[in-house]
């Protein structure tokens, strides 16, 4: 398996808005697809994942619509084969989302749950029921929206801990990793080499 961990601009390190984070994530995925031969990977077998804000960025790699602040050239030509979202920011809308003020006038336009394509990659969502930073209800809303449109999606509810459950409860970190591996095996993405 080839692992790629792209960096992206954040407010804390670069003074940028979330728009830049999304654009960087989409550009990184487009770069990996474009250079798949050089990297020795199959562009149709790339899984993308992320935690918290990284989950927000990961989800945008699978949405064709160009969000505010992103270059249209970064819209996926190939969708990820699967998505893994842990404690992910999936809703930034003013009514129900995570810190909509940070997203300003673009809060709904940058809210993945409201911008999903009809066909999305198989998605595994892992979220703690007691997450007070990124509320569990946003994970449930994404799950419901994906399933209601015929997309493959699984929601693993972690009954202990909050946003950082994997640091707080190591056994749940291991359970989440095992579930991710089984999920990828179920879609024949693992083992990576056949």
Q: Which domains, from first to last, does the chain contain?
A: 45-186 (3.40.50.1820)
Pick the more confident residue, 9 or 72.
Answer: 72
Q: How far apart are CA 100 and CA 91, in angstroms?
A: 9
Q: How far apart are CA 159 and CA 162, in angstroms?
A: 9
At residue 1, the pLDDT reads 79
**Contact status, residue 83 vs residue 62, Cβ threshold 8 Å:** yes
Model confidence pLDDT, tens digit, residues 159-184: 999 999 999 899 999 999 999 999 99
Residues 6+ apart with CB under 8 A from 37: none
**Mean pLDDT calculated for residue range 65-79:** 93
At residue 194, the pLDDT reads 58
Model confidence pLDDT, tens digit, residues 17-70: 888 999 999 999 999 999 999 999 999 999 999 999 999 999 999 999 999 999
Task: Name the average pLDDT for the chain.
Answer: 94
Report pTM: 0.94
Terminal Cα-to-Cα distance of the chain (whole angstroms): 11
């Amino acid at each position: 398996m080839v692992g790629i961990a792209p960096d992206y601009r954040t407010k804390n390190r670069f003074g940028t808005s979330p728009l830049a984070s999304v654009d960087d994530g989409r550009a990184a995925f487009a770069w990996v697809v474009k250079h798949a031969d050089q990297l020795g990977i199959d562009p149709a077998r790339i899984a993308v994942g992320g935690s918290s804000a990284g989950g927000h960025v990961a989800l945008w790699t699978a949405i064709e619509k160009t969000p505010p602040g992103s270059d249209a050239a970064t819209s996926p030509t190939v969708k990820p084969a699967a998505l893994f979202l842990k404690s992910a920011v999936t809703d930034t809308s003013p009514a129900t989302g995570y810190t909509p003020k940070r997203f300003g006038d673009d809060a709904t336009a940058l809210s993945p749950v409201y911008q999903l394509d009809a066909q999305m990659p198989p998605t595994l969502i892992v979220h703690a029921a007691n997450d007070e930073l990124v509320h569990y209800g946003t994970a449930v809303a994404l799950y419901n929206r994906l399933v209601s449109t015929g997309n493959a999606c699984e929601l693993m509810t972690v009954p202990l801990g909050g946003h950082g459950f994997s640091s707080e409860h190591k056994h749940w970190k291991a359970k989440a990793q095992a579930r991710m591996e089984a999920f990828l095996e179920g879609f024949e993405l693992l083992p990576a080499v056949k």
